Amino acid sequence: MKILLASSEVHPFSKTGGLADMVSALGKALAHAGHEARIVTPLYRGIREKYPQLRREDWIFDLPLGSTRVRAELWSLELQPGLVIWFVDQPEFYQRAGLYLENNQDYADNAARFVYFSKCAAHLARYSPWRPDVIHVHDWQVALVPALILPQKIAEGWGNPPPTCLTIHKLAYQGWFPATAFSLTTLPRDFFTLNGAEFYGQMNCLKAGIVYADAITTVSPRYAREITTEAMGCSLDDRLRMRQHQLFGILNGVDYDEWNTSANSFLPHAYSVTRMAGKTANKLALQKEMGLPERKEVPLFGTISRLAEQKGVDIELGALAEMLSADIQFVLLGSGSPVFEQGYRELAARFPDKVAVRVGYSEALSHRIEAACDFFLMPSHFEPCGLNQMYSLRYGTIPVVRATGGLDDSVIDYSQSPARATGIKFFEYSARALAKAMRKALAIYEHPALLRQYRRNAMQADFSWEQTVNEYVRVYSLINPNSAGPKTVQTPE
Q: Contact 82/37 with Cβ under 8 angstroms?
A: yes
Residue of closest CB approach to ligand GLC: 18
CA dihedral 25, 42, 219, 195 (to 10 degrees): -150
Q: Which of 12, 17, 221, 486 binds ligand ADP (CB under 6 A)?
A: 17
| Helix extents (H) in 233-385 | 237-242, 277-290, 313-323, 338-350, 363-372
Q: Does 302 bind ligand ADP (CB under 6 A)?
A: no
Grouping H, G, I as helix, E, B as strand and the rest as coil, residue 104 is coil
Residue 150 interaction partner, one of ligand GLC, ligand ADP, none, beta carbon < 5-8 Å per kind:
none
Which residues lie below 8 Å from residue 420, measured CB to CB, with a gap of 6+? 412, 457
Q: Does 169 bind ligand GLC (CB under 6 A)?
A: yes
Q: Which of 9, 21, 139, 226 binds ligand ADP (CB under 6 A)?
A: 21
Number of amino acids touching ligand GLC (CB under 6 A): 14
Beta carbon of residue 453, minimum distance to ligand GLC (angstroms, whole number): 27
Residue 306 interaction partner, one of ligand GLC, ligand ADP, none, beta carbon < 5-8 Å per kind:
ligand ADP
Nearest in space to 35 (alpha carbons), one of 85, 81, 87, 86: 81
- Helices and strands: H and E segment counts in the chain: 17, 20
> Which C-beta is closer to ligand ADP: that of 364 or that of 484?
364
Q: What is the 3-state secondary structure (H, E, C) of 308-348?
A: CHHHCHHHHHHHHHHHCCCCCEEEEEEEECHHHHHHHHHHH
Q: Find the binding residues for ligand GLC in span 252-291 (CB under 6 A).
A: 252
Q: Contact 428/319 with Cβ under 8 angstroms?
A: no
Q: Find the binding residues for ligand GLC in span 367-406 (CB under 6 A).
A: 383-387, 406
Q: Which of 1, 3, 6, 22 binds ligand GLC (CB under 6 A)?
A: 22
> Which C-beta is closer to ligand GLC: that of 406 or that of 423?
406
* DSSP letter, residue 161: P
> Which C-beta is closer to ligand ADP: that of 169 or that of 239?
169
Q: Which of 136, 170, 239, 358 binds ligand GLC (CB under 6 A)?
A: 170
Return residues touching ligand ADP (CB under 6 A): 17-19, 21, 304-306, 333-335, 361-363, 366, 385-388
Return residues touching ligand GLC (CB under 6 A): 17-19, 22, 169-170, 219, 252, 383-387, 406
